[in-house]
Amino acid sequence: MKKFVALLMALCLLGACALAEEVPVINWEDVDIESSGIEGNYYTFDSVAVVVWIPTVLENLELTAEEAEGGLIGKFEVADGSASIYVQHLTGNEGATMDDLLAGLEANGAKDIERCVLNGLDAASYSLPDADAIYVVFVTEAGNYVQFVMTPVSDEGFASVAQIVTASIQPE
């Protein structure tokens, strides 16, 4: 388990160590999920043509009509509610580019913005002040945004899980 976490952290830290001109590349095929001992399932979000691996400890919850209207397309939580992953399809940005997305993040106070290629997707991760979460976002072909919100990242164990989940986000 320690070797797996060290490998995953090394993959995720590529962005911190890369030169400004270089964009780190993260590939799910480079992660040996079986050696982690964590069981999970793949979930497909047809509306945005994305697949993600989610640990079985996080229950796939049904969305309310209000959540779905607000753009939520996936909601996963542990039974006691202490950790969660939300998937959002943020529309109304038709034609947006990754540069538009990054500029918007900066303008809205996002911190620790890291751009990467995530299983072929041009993506970015960021944090927000006073939010105990990590956000991973990319632009769809139509120019809308798909965002994964994982919380709490202050919990080292869950932060490791969030890194694994992030590495699994890929086109369908």
pLDDT tens string 63-100? 999 999 999 999 999 999 999 999 999 988 788 889 99
How is residue 116 written in tokens? Answer: 């990467």
Give dist(CA 23, CA 39) in Å, integer. 30
What is the distance of C-alpha 13 from the center of its chain? 15
Of the candidate ranges 22-26, 41-45, 148-152, the one whose mean pLDDT is the lowest = 22-26
Residue 108, classed as helix, strand or coil, is coil
Neighbours of 167 (CB within 10 A): 23
Q: Tell me what the pLDDT averaged over the chain comes to.
A: 86
Domains of the chain in sequence order = 2-171 (3.40.1000.10)
Give dist(CA 17, CA 33) in Å, integer. 24
Identify the pLDDT of residue 7: 38
The 3 state secondary structure assigned to 76-91 is: EECCCCCCEEEEEEEC
- pLDDT tier for residue 21 given thresholds of 50, 70 and 90: low
- pLDDT tier for residue 47 given thresholds of 50, 70 and 90: confident
Identify the pLDDT of residue 13: 44
What is the distance of C-alpha 76 from the center of its chain? 13
Do residues 171 and 52 lie in contact, with contact meaning Cβ atoms separated by under 8 Å? no
Q: What are phi and psi of 82, to 5 degrees?
A: -80, -10
Give dist(CA 125, CA 11) in Å, integer. 14
Q: What are phi and psi of 69, to 5 degrees?
A: -65, -30
- pLDDT tier for residue 11 given thresholds of 50, 70 and 90: very low
Do residues 85 and 153 lie in contact, with contact meaning Cβ atoms separated by under 8 Å? no
Do residues 53 and 44 lie in contact, with contact meaning Cβ atoms separated by under 8 Å? no
